[in-house]
Amino acid sequence: MEYKYAKYNTLLNKITNKDNLFVGNYTLDPYQNCDFGCRYCDSAFDDVIYIKTDSLQLLEKEIKKIEKGMIIVGSVVDPYQEAEKKHKITRKLLKIIEHNNFYAHVLTKSDLVLRDIDILSKIKGCIVTISIISLDKTVLNIFEKNVPSSKERLNVIKKLSENGIKTGLAVMPLLPFIVEEELEEIVKTAKQNGAHYLLHKHLELKGDQKAIFLKILSELNPDLVSKYEELYSGSYMPDQSHIAKVKDMVDKYCRKYDMPTNI
């Protein structure tokens, strides 16, 4: 993996349509591309991580020109990827958000977020969403081998919640025919670790990503390849009947364990 420094014209992006999933008004990403290399993600195939060296100056300037609202930190790539350990850009951006009295919603799958509990606990209406795709080590080793284990991520939820920070779990992306049999256990475990809500969204396979993903999928279970080809035959999304079926499953388990399905 190669790391390069780069300057950008803007950092904040305004969300034009209502965000019912993450309830954000703006987004920002401290890095371009991600060194976690999750194999269902477009960024997994990029060899260069760009460090946004001017992000602090940009945010200081841009945040003074916008209306108060919720800033989603890590909308495209993980703000707590490995590069953050050295550069601490996310931490510095969170300080600016807190200083300017904005809300923040952090999306991550890293336990490094615990480093910044001191800042997160000061941010007005702070939310942190931790994502997982499975509790199964085999699945994780194939698709997320560079990321903290599901057990570690669930512990992050527990610690953040214990520190008064609203924290939830996102099953994203939801991998068809892989995660369904785990859904109840995931909801139950999330509840046990203090999650305030559970979100989910299906896997999207756009362009060349579909062929690449199907090749990777064959490592886990070759029999699933034909099922995916059929499920995604007409679109980059699963067919609507499958989406509805899985949503019904999630809703059922969330009702059982008294887990909200929105923030």
What digits encode the pLDDT tens for the residues 73-89?
A: 999 999 999 999 999 99
- Rounded to a whole number of angstroms, the CA Rg of the chain reads 18
**Helix crossing, 223-231 with 209-220: angle to 10°?**
150
Instruction: Tokens for 119, please give them.
Output: 């800042």
Measured between alpha carbons, how far is 95 from 263 in angstroms, rounded to an integer?
23
Q: Does some domain include residue 261?
A: no
Query: Which of 108 and 47 is assigned the larger pLDDT?
Result: 108
Per-residue model confidence (pLDDT) at position 45: 75
Q: Does some domain include residue 53?
A: yes
Is pLDDT at 36 greater than 80 in this prediction? yes
Measured between alpha carbons, how far is 101 from 124 in angstroms, rounded to an integer?
7
Instruction: Kindly list the distances between the CA atom of residue 239 and the CA atoms of 134, 144, 150, 214, 231, in Å, as whole numbers in the listed order.
Output: 22, 25, 28, 17, 6
**What is the number of domains present in the chain?**
1
- Tell me, what CATH number does 194's domain have? 3.80.30.30
Outline where 144-198 has alpha helix (H).
Answer: 150-162, 183-192
For a pLDDT cut of 70, what percent of the chain falls above it? 100
Q: Does some domain include residue 184?
A: yes
Per-residue model confidence (pLDDT) at position 11: 97
Per-residue model confidence (pLDDT) at position 90: 98
Is pLDDT at 42 greater than 80 in this prediction? no
pLDDT band per the 50, 70, 90 thresholds, residue 227: very high
Please count the CA atoms within 13 angstroms of the CA of 53 that sit on its side-chain side.
5
Per-residue model confidence (pLDDT) at position 46: 82
Domain coverage including residue 187: 2-201
Tell me what the pLDDT averaged over the chain comes to: 95
Please tell me the pTM assigned to this model.
Answer: 0.96
Q: Does some domain include residue 222?
A: no
Q: Does some domain include residue 62?
A: yes
What digits encode the pLDDT tens for the residues 19-30?
A: 999 999 999 999
Residue for token pair 């512990």: 155
Instruction: Kindly list the distances between the CA atom of residue 30 and the CA atoms of 205, 211, 238, in Å, as whole numbers in the listed order.
Output: 25, 29, 31
